[in-house]
Structure 1
Amino acid sequence: MPAFTHHIFVCCNYREPTNPRGCCDPKQSEALRNQFKIELKKRGLNGQVRANKAGCLDQCEHGPNLVIYPQGIWYGGVRLEDVSRIIEETIVKGVILQELVIAPECLNNPACPHVQARKEQPCGGSR
């Protein structure tokens, strides 16, 4: 079997609601990963594109989040209704969905304005 053309890593990490860092919304994240698998199979892409659960991607403030390799595209605030568009636009056509991109200046930045917003809306929130 040839190598996968893309890997989609969906953060499925869980932290207690009292954790000051919050979490990516683990119920939604698990549903996202499952929806990716369903959609990829429907399109006949399941042998070419792999959707995986990931531990913490360290972008909790932007959850639910995922990263697509080999391009290294980071998407945040992803919802179930985004899955088909991500597959069609990003995976199939190579188009980056700007409205979902986690800004490069926010990646791994404790001064990102989303950090404070997540503290005010802990575990379970999304865009």
Structure 2
Amino acid sequence: MEKPKHHIFVCASTRLNGKVTGTCERKESHNLLAMINEELSDRDLEADVMVTSTGCLGLCDKGPIVIIYPEGTWYGEVAEDDIPEILDALEAGEVVESLVIA
């Protein structure tokens, strides 16, 4: 696999002890992972974008958290309905300002 153009990280609420507990998990961040992967496939972007679940990112009050690199964009309180808009913005080189964690 070649280095992807973008890397999307989704908080999965995993703790250092391996337990999966926390806000992002309770708000079903695992569904966001599945939806992002489906959308990437539908848009034929699988070779350009890698998706990875992460451990706890420490901003639980803003969860679920989605981060996009190399842009360094942190999105908070992401819902399934936000995924198409986030990916549209990614493709256009833009940011969804209403979701950005400042």
Q: TM-score, normalised by structure 1?
A: 0.71
1:97 aligns with 2:60: no
Equivalenced residue count is 96
1:56 is displaced (CA, Å) by 0.8
Paired AA for residue 65 in structure 1 = I
Residue number in structure 2 paired with 1:12: 12
1:32 is displaced (CA, Å) by 0.3
Separation (CA, whole Å) in 1 of partners of 2:69 and 2:51: 11
1:26 is displaced (CA, Å) by 4.0
Paired AA for residue 100 in structure 1 = L
Residue number in structure 2 paired with 1:109: none
Residue number in structure 1 paired with 2:3: 3
Q: TM-score, normalised by structure 2?
A: 0.87
1:71 is displaced (CA, Å) by 0.9
Report the CA distance shift for 1:27/1:100 in structure 2 as closer, same or farther (over 3 A): closer
Separation (CA, whole Å) in 1 of partners of 2:37 and 2:87: 11
Separation (CA, whole Å) in 2 of partners of 1:92 and 1:32: 18
Residue number in structure 1 paired with 2:54: 54
Name the structure where strand makes up a greater proportion of residues: 2
Report sequence identity in percent: 40
1:31 is displaced (CA, Å) by 0.1
Paired AA for residue 101 in structure 1 = V
User: Is contact 2:27–2:63 with CA below 8 Å preserved after alignment?
Assistant: no
RMSD: 1.3
Unaligned runs of 5+ in 1: 16-21, 104-127
User: Is contact 1:11–1:64 with CA below 8 Å preserved after alignment?
Assistant: yes
Paired AA for residue 34 in structure 1 = A
Per-residue CA distance 1:77-102 (angstroms, 9 max, x = gap): 1000111111111x201111110001
Paired AA for residue 97 in structure 2 = Q
Separation (CA, whole Å) in 2 of partners of 1:100 and 1:54: 19
Separation (CA, whole Å) in 2 of partners of 1:23 and 1:63: 6
Pairs within 5 Å for 1:37-76: 37-76=37-76
